Amino acid sequence: MTVKEIFETMEYGTAPESASEALAWIAARDGTCGNFIDGAFTTPRNTMESRNPATGELLAKVTNSGAEDVEAAVKAARKAQPKWAKIGGHWRAKYLYAIARLVQKHSRLLAVMETLDNGKPIREARDADIPLVARHFYYHAGVAQLMDEEMAGREALGVCGQIIPWNFPLLMLAWKIAPAIAAGNTVVLKPAEYTSLTALVFAEICREAGLPAGVVNIVTGDGATGQALVEADVDKIAFTGSTAVGRAIRKATAGTGKSLTLELGGKSPYIVFEDADIDSAVEGLVDAIFFNQGQVCCAGSRLLVQEGIAEDFYARLIARMSKLRVGNPLDKSIDVGAIVDPVQLDRIKGLVEKGGSEGTVHQPCGAPEGCFYPPTLITDLHSSAMLMQEEIFGPVLVATTFRTPAEAVQVANDTRYGLAASVWSENINLALDIAPKLATGVVWINGSNMFDAAAGFGGVRESGFGREGGWEGMMAYTKPSGKAVPLAPAKKHLETDKTEVLDLDRTSKLYIGGKQARPDSGYSEAVYSPKGKLLGHASLANRKDIRNAVEAARGAGGWTKATAHLRAQIIYYIGENLSARSDEFAARIVDLTGTTKGKAEAEVEGAISTLFTYAAWCDKYDSAAKPVPMRGVALAMKEPVGVIGAFCDDRPLGGLVDVIAPAIAMGNRVVAVASEAYPLAATDFYQVLDTSDVPAGVVNILTGAHEGLAAPMAGHLNVDAVWSFSSADLSKTIEIESAGNLKRTWVNYGQSRPIPSKEWLAQATEVKTVWVPYGEG
């Protein structure tokens, strides 16, 4: 092609990147790689193949690790962890800084190896993935340096098992390893079976940086290796991958005490309003869905375009898609590379063949033979169509239209996922009005695929829980300092031969939707004093009562929209009214427990103080503007979790107030199950709520057996989180049942420890990161 023809057609010429250095790295190891355990590489055995998806050629063979390999890696990590934590943040920062510098030094090798192993275009690996890998280690070097001061009272978890996917092999490694070792943990990481090579190059970087043996361990293998790591003696599992596997891990770790974070699938909406800059929105959409061949958990795979511009938008999008170049990922002029493996290619083809007939399929550019799939647009779908709901994980965009902003929000939230969203509008007021209404962990305004180590990333709903990046990400790799003590269940007092009978029978009802409600079971239980005095009867709630309470809580959404100032006023008022009846509540606590008057008065005063504390926090638990490297700002907005189900400890009043106060202070609604042994103080408390202007449904109080109510509470799909401080160890039941919609859980594993107010607040909120670029040029 002549220069004149190039200028006339504006076609790109080829610009191949040499793979010689990466292939030489593999050849120097005879094409086989072992695990990296305790600072050294093991002898390869029981190998599996790693192939170049673009050509099908064999790249290398890596160990398919068994349980014994995982055990050896965990043992090395366990041995190294105390010393690694003890050296302090400054020394950990030095190692992290050295790793960041070496990532930059070896950036070309890493980028080429990533492209060979994964099939992504070299431009993406070189210009997006590897710089962000280095950024994460630089950022977390700073976190390690500041941690002792900024995270006082928190310490490392111990040994972290980490399982990462194949779509961003090295970047996901950085997201996991950097915060873990910055906090003083040690790591056993399992890369995806398709894409292990850059993790092994990284292992050499760790050795070159002088990282102490055992701090980072890498075991390669398939799903069985991951299962062995989940079952191993680790203190935390961090997983990024499919929702189905995440659900299985939630069940497998239930009741073990292992910390868990899950970053799972998505079906992210890409919302375009009629006042948007259409050409910019089209270009952003190409990046949102065809970046990394659409194999991105937060890909903008669901296009929602306002009806008035839909026809024009589709035409411009199809014209832009027709110019996309699909082919050899090592060619720097390529836009879309290879699908990671024929298995994934077959899945994409199968889903489009099955669901494409519900709409109109557009494939304006072709794809070469092999493991490639053409960029695809499917229009004219309704929001409940199969392809609008199922994560395809390929270069396939599905589209529908909307008329009003309210309808856009409704359609956007019509999914079981909640990872990310993009909003396009030249009206910043409209965009910032929509962003908080989207049930996602990340919102990009007039942009897509913006990431940084300083800004938390993660989802809600079936997209998982936990955040990666920022100070919020560090919370998942630390725990409050100090040891927990086993809980001894309070004993119910029983009837004696000389029971004193009440002059007038009193049966306390449940408190649901701001009203006293009879239990669905029709049963109640007598409550006695230590000396056998009949104090009254407490209702026994069942699963239908939980259903009714959750419905009432869902209906109280206005509380979430209320200002922090208003919530504070009402919580102060609860404390004021409780104070006016403090003698009465203290006497009730003495009757229920047999404790001294002084201790009972202290519990009441403690409850009043708790209410005042969280009333004070209502308008002081600040969100943050993150210093991200862009012309714009990333807002870390603290939002309420939603509906929280809570099981109280055995303090008659304090256990109830402790869960209610922080939850409602942050705008949540609560279904609280009172102390099983001493429920009557809780049923007295709803009289305080009735006189304190608390809207109906914000606080709902049930009484009854905790073990019988744990499963229906945790399994309820309209409950967003479950807390348990019960002396009955409900942890395993709650964590297993929570897997249904992957709700957040916070349980005590039958132990008790002091909980600082900041931890209560963190558990009562989600962090939504809203990216807002600004400037005209």
- The neighbour count for residue 41, using CB atoms within 10 Å, is 17
Tokens of 69: 């390999």
Q: Which amino acid is at 701?
A: I
Q: Is 81 helix (H, G, I), strand (E, B) or coil?
A: helix
The full length of the chain comes to: 777
**β-pair partners for 771:** 444, 634
Tokens of 293: 């061949």
Does 21 qualify as catalytic in the annotation? no
Using only C-alpha atoms, the chain has a radius of gyration, in whole angstroms, of 28
Q: What order do you get walking across the sheet with 47-51 strand by strand?
A: 32-33, 58-63, 47-51
DSSP string, 313-362: HHHHHHHHHTT--BS-TTBTT-SB---S-HHHHHHHHHHHHHHGGGSEEE
* Residue bearing tokens 């050899």: 328
Which residue in the list 114, 124, 193, 263 is annotated as catalytic? 263
Q: How many CA atoms lie within 13 Å of 599's alpha carbon, on the beta-carbon side?
A: 10
Q: Which residues of 184-198 are buried (b: 16+ CB within 10 A; e: fewer)?
A: bbbbbbbbbbbbbbb
Does 263 qualify as catalytic in the annotation? yes
- The neighbour count for residue 7, using CB atoms within 10 Å, is 9
Question: What is the spatial distance between Cα 124 and Cα 129, in angstroms, rounded to a whole number?
Answer: 6
DSSP label of 695: P
Q: Is the dihedral of CA 312, 315, 316, 318 positive or negative?
A: positive
Torsion of CA 716, 717, 718, 722, to 10 degrees: 60
Question: What is the spatial distance between Cα 715 and Cα 705, in angstroms, rounded to a whole number?
Answer: 16
Residue 477 near residue 155 (C-beta atoms within 8 A): no
Question: What is the spatial distance between Cα 546 and Cα 722, in angstroms, rounded to a whole number?
Answer: 13
- Phi and psi at residue 307, to the nearest 5°: -55, -40
Torsion of CA 409, 414, 420, 425, to 10 degrees: -30
Residue 238 near residue 390 (C-beta atoms within 8 A): no
Residue 719 near residue 709 (C-beta atoms within 8 A): no
Tokens of 438: 């989207």
- The neighbour count for residue 47, using CB atoms within 10 Å, is 16
Which residue in the list 33, 206, 297, 298 is annotated as catalytic? 297
Question: What is the spatial distance between Cα 669 and Cα 672, in angstroms, rounded to a whole number?
Answer: 10
Residues identified as active-site: 263, 297
